[in-house]
Amino acid sequence: MSSTPLALFVGLPNPVLSDEEFALFRETNPLGLFVGRRNQREPEQTKRLIERFREAVGRDDAPVFTDQEGGRVQHLDAGPWPLFRSFGQFAELARRDFALGKKALRLSSQAMGAMMTELGLSSGCSPVLDLVFETTSAVIGARSFGPDPDVIAALGPEVIDGLLEAGNMPVMKHIPGHGRATLDSHKERPVVDASRVTLAATDFKPFVALKDTPWAMVAHVVYSAYDKERPASVSPVMHDVIRNEMGYEGVLISDCIFMESLSGTLPERVRQVLDAGFDIALHSHGDVRESEAAAKAARPLTDAALKRIAAGTARLGNLKVDVRAAHRQVEDMFASALVS
């Protein structure tokens, strides 16, 4: 096993790590694991799965991510876990009472972060900083705070700081912005034809405002004003835009490479992401054979990526939160403002 992890997150089909998967991960040393709803049945099982992955790669701090935004995108939605509200609902509360909306969002983020940290999960891949318009693909919807980049830039820090305080890594997505995409990148290749001026004033704006977020997930969206052919996640041009024009210096991880916006075989997709200059390819689905193919195509993390990861980890706090009490308090805030 290489001492430097591969620039790759792997996924699993089941809630238990098989002996074959354990051996593969021990041999190849992927940076991290992405677990979905299918992998998480209840707290003790989730903890055991995470511990076993970390044992396989030989790193107690190996990152394990999930999708846990609130609303319809929360993979901790079974058993004893409380259900959290969507960003769209917090935006509605903020429209009624901006200070109360920010307070509720911060507390909810702390509670969600503490819940994940207690399980051993490193991140819920949140917040979503995409704008949403009438034409936006339904894949975003209430995951967004709305159409106003200034409102998103004002609410986003409550999520980012709340998660950091609770020891959980925020990952802003989907940089540089999925809001003008009218197609779902899970199924098709969206093309955004807006001008550079328009993008800078709208979709890009929240990501620039919150560019000190330690991690960001890159969209599988074509921005034709910059690169007419390639989605951002596999475009060297868009990598340069994000790094140089937008000024983002944190960790850049692709959205899941299984999504149909990309083309080519799984190994080709891994190489496309890394060849474009991004730090990490996210392979969040698949079986052991697919994980093996992805690992063979990946390469060790660069020194620059390792420094970015370390810088983000150094910002994690250890705030202790009574998750259920905080969740009830948030619900009381919504009730007081008569927001359903």
- What tokens does 19 get? 């002996």
Examine the residue annotation and report whether 239 is marked as an active-site residue of this protein.
Answer: no
Catalytic residue among 184, 186, 240, 287: 186
Q: What is the 3-state secondary structure (H, E, C) of 194-252?
A: CCHHHHHHCCCHHHHHCCCCCEEEECCCEECCCCCCCCHHHCHHHHHHHHHHCCCCCEE
Cα 327 to Cα 81, 83, 182, 280, 330: the distances in Å are 11, 9, 34, 33, 5
Alpha helices in the chain (DSSP H): 19-28, 43-57, 87-96, 98-119, 149-165, 196-201, 205-209, 236-240, 266-275, 288-297, 303-313, 323-336
Beta carbons of 64 and 125 less than 8 angstroms apart: no
Catalytic residue among 130, 255, 285, 327: 255
Examine the residue annotation and report whether 255 is marked as an active-site residue of this protein.
Answer: yes
Cα 95 to Cα 100, 102, 137, 158: the distances in Å are 10, 10, 23, 15
Q: Tell me the DSSP string of 133-168.
A: -TTS-TTTGGGS--S-HHHHHHHHHHHHHHHHHTT-
Q: Which residues are catalytic?
A: 186, 255
